[in-house]
Amino acid sequence: MPGTVISAPEITHVSQHGFWLLLGNEELLLPFAQFPWFRHATIAQINTVEWPTPDHLYWPELDIDLSVASIRHPESFPLIAEGGV
């Protein structure tokens, strides 16, 4: 098992197309086209993110759980639900 996560995730930029998430030394893009659950979320809701394990992110105000792998390789995780918050 990888080591303990020591830094909090950080949202570094939000635009009309999506947002950038900094995890440790890796920055990942979450485009709204691929992650539609965030499209109508407020900046405060997007910024409230937890990183309980190395491959798990949770947005408690939106009740959204995502695998980090699904952000890195969204083509491997086809959307099974549509909609917004």
Structure tokens, 77: 């995780």
Residue 38 sits at φ, ψ, to 5 deg, of: -95, -10
**Read out DSSP for 34-52?**
T-GGGTT--HHHHH--EEE
pTM, to two decimals: 0.82
pLDDT in tens, 39-66: 999 999 999 999 999 999 999 999 999 9
Q: Where in the sequence is the domain holding 21, given as residue range(s)?
A: 10-76
Is residue 85 domain-resident? Answer: no
Q: Is the dihedral of CA 7, 8, 13, 17 positive or negative?
A: positive
84 within some domain: no
How many domains does the chain fold into?
A: 1
What are the φ/ψ torsions at residue 37 (nearest 5 degrees)? Answer: -60, -20
Q: Which residues contact 26 (CB under 8 A, 6 or more apart)?
A: none
